[in-house]
Amino acid sequence: MFALVKFLEEFDSNRLYVVDADTILDFHPKSTDDFDNRAIYSVFWVDENSENTQAYKAQVLLLAESKEELDNKKSCKRVQIPKIRMDSDDDEPSNIQDRKEASQKRKNAQAHAKSNTYAKILEKHVKDVQRKAKGDSCSQPRHQGPLVANPHRFDVMVMPNLYGNIIDNLAAGLVGGAGVVPGASYSSDCVIYEPGARHTFGEATGKNIANPTAMFLCAAQMLRHVNLHYYATLVKDAVEKVIKSGKVRTRDLGGYASTTEFTSAVIQNLPH
């Protein structure tokens, strides 16, 4: 869908502009008539020819399935595309993700949220560090506290790699440590599955004491990614049974089992 918007500060308030509705944050109307034209939204992207990804406050005045339909509704002769104001220092955009990367990251998050029936997506960056940032402005310290106090309020969090490293280590600590958290790195061509935390107890290499839970769950995620949902569930359920029983635990979980013993216990809980 496409929206006719009026920017409140950054652009000429007497002009109306057409933008893709997907670029408007927190804007999910069920139909072209199901939206509030008095509400204030943040338009994530407003210039098709720029690499800037700032969000701008705007009102949505009309909504249509196509630009032509929107043009007819407004009786516009020409679709206006707003130009983003660039700073005088042209050497600064090294801290800005380009449109393709930022848009793809948002699409991946939306697809993941939809496939897992999540309701909310939080886009996050540190405003004081990254002046030209994508999405809504969120303070890093302000969001670490709620994540610890009430992690269930967050469904999907989208952020650049730097802040993702901070959050994923924090989130790993909430659920038992680096040994139990799977992770995945997506590109347009492939997916790499690996432990989710960035510090994964490398000192345990070759000592047969590491917790293999993260790798088992990575395998389950990979199977689910290739639509082998039945087998993914078998692996995940087997791991959960071992952990819930509490009889076989590696040292990071308060036990003395070796990697081999934990792996054998998981295999025994798989249907034969």
The per-residue pLDDT for range 158-179, each reduced to its tens digit, is 777 777 777 888 888 888 888 8
Retrieve residue 99's tokens. 């449109």
Rounded-to-integer distance, Cα 20 and Cα 8, Å: 18
Q: Enumerate residues 6+ apart whose C-beta is below 8 A from 29.
A: 1, 21, 35, 63
In the three-class reduction of DSSP (H, G, I as helix; E, B as strand; rest coil), residue 103 is classed as helix
With beta carbons less than 8 A apart as the criterion, state whether 53 and 132 touch: yes
CB atoms within 10 A of CB 29: 15
Contact 175, 222 (CB under 8 A): no
Residue 184 has pLDDT above 50, yes or no: yes
Q: DSSP label at 151?
A: G
Residue 140's pLDDT is: 47
Q: What is the amino acid identity at position 202?
A: G
pLDDT value for 220: 95
Mean pLDDT for all residues in the chain: 72
> What is the pLDDT, as a whole number, of residue 108?
64
- Residue 20 pLDDT greater than 70, yes or no: yes
pLDDT tens-place string over residues 48-60:
555 555 667 777 8
Q: Please tell me the distance from the alpha carbon of residue 89 to that of residue 98, in angstroms, as a whole number.
A: 17
- Who wins on pLDDT, 153 or 109? 153
From residue 199, give the alpha-carbon distance in Å to each of 15, 192, 232: 51, 17, 25
Global model pTM greater than 0.75: no
pLDDT band of 144, cuts 50, 70, 90 = low
pLDDT tens column, 194-250: 888 766 677 778 899 999 999 999 999 999 988 899 999 999 999 999 999 999 999
**Res 264 pLDDT > 90:** yes
pLDDT at 1 exceeding the cut of 70? yes
Backbone angles phi, psi at 83, to 5 degrees: -105, 130
Q: What is the pLDDT of residue 85?
A: 41
**Residue 215, token pair as written in the block:** 């790798």
User: pLDDT at position 34, please?
Assistant: 72
Percent of the chain at pLDDT > 70 equals 61
Confidence of residue 270 (pLDDT cuts 50, 70, 90): very high
What are the angstrom distances between the C-alpha of 82 and each of 10, 46, 134?
10, 6, 17
Q: Is residue 5 over pLDDT 90?
A: no
Distance CA 129, CA 184 (A): 26
Looking at per-residue confidence, does 183 or 237 come out higher? 237
Give CA separation, 81 vs 7, 35, 68, 78, in Å.
Answer: 12, 22, 15, 10
Label residue 141 by pLDDT band (50, 70, 90).
very low
At CA 203, angle to CA 201 and CA 209, rounded to 5? Answer: 75
The residue with greater pLDDT, 256 or 74, is: 256
